[in-house]
Amino acid sequence: MVGYDYDFFWRAAQAYINGQSPYSVTGFFSPFPFVLAMIPFGMMPYNLSFGLWSVLSLMALVYVNRSRFPRLIFYLPVIYTLWVGQVDLMILALGFSATWLGVALTTLKPQLAIFILPYAVYGWWRKGQTDQIWKMGIAVIALYGLPTALSPGWWSDWMSSTPSIFEYSLHASSLFGISALISYPTAVVFAAVALVGGIVFWVIKPVRENGYWSWVALFNPIANIYSLCVINRLVDWIAILLSWVLLPISLSLHTGLPWAIIPLYTLWRGRLKKPVIQPLPTQ
């Protein structure tokens, strides 16, 4: 269904506008500040708002990827992101903007922010731009503090409506997707894969963008197909071809595990070639 995920966002905003809890919308799991950001879209007719949302997503894709934009139109995770109306492309554009405000706004999707914030803080620290760190921290406090003052109960509503990380991992398009194939309790499999991920991170030390974002895509326990957009700037034509080959395999196995092949490929390719990615300039 076109706009499947966006429909949850739009209806949650509509619910809040009409004086109802956004978490009364089944399938909506985003934090309350995201609902407030969606209010302008919720005030529009659905088709108009989804069209505008899609245009903004395409603009975000161009901003982050520029020269790679033409090829990424054929990359299945990008197509899927646009098809279902997810927010990932805009969140990544905010994160890669290298600005304190942009990085703070990534917390509107905590599943991505948990990886973007450490990467941004590490980069600022290395460059001695500590002012960016504390400005970002203040912005995050304001972004979540003001909505909490407006509606203190949203935290409990959000937590109670959000699936557990173990439920997410059963469908993860990463190495955590193995949870769907192994009869051991999901929590045991989750812990084992997380341990392997931690070891890989510290041994390989993927602090360069090529390594870090491939690692994120490989070991993200709550990844979906669109979550592979985190490696958009590492995608070549082989990765694009892989994305189409892996789709029927993943569907036949009923697990997202095969999608881990794409970040594994980008890690392998990064070992053979010098890094080709340059960070976006700090503004």
pLDDT in tens, 180-218: 888 777 777 778 877 877 777 666 655 455 678 988 998
CA nearest to 262, candidates 224, 226, 214, 220? 214
- pTM value surpassing 0.85: yes
Q: pLDDT tens digits for 77-107?
A: 999 999 999 999 999 999 998 899 999 999 9
CA nearest to 169, candidates 223, 110, 131, 244? 223
* Angle, helices 110-127/130-150, rounded to nearest 10 degrees: 150
Q: Are 198 and 30 in contact (CB under 8 A)?
A: no
pLDDT of residue 98: 84
pLDDT of residue 275: 43
pLDDT of residue 204: 61
d(CA 54, CA 149): 32
pLDDT of residue 278: 43
Q: Residue ranges of the domains in the chain? A: 4-272
pLDDT of residue 259: 96
pLDDT of residue 207: 46
> Computed from CA positions of residues 258, 261, 262, 263, in that sequence, does the dihedral angle turn out positive or negative?
positive
pLDDT of residue 2: 84
Low-confidence ranges of the chain (pLDDT < 70): 201-210, 271-283
pLDDT of residue 95: 94
pLDDT of residue 176: 87
pLDDT of residue 186: 74
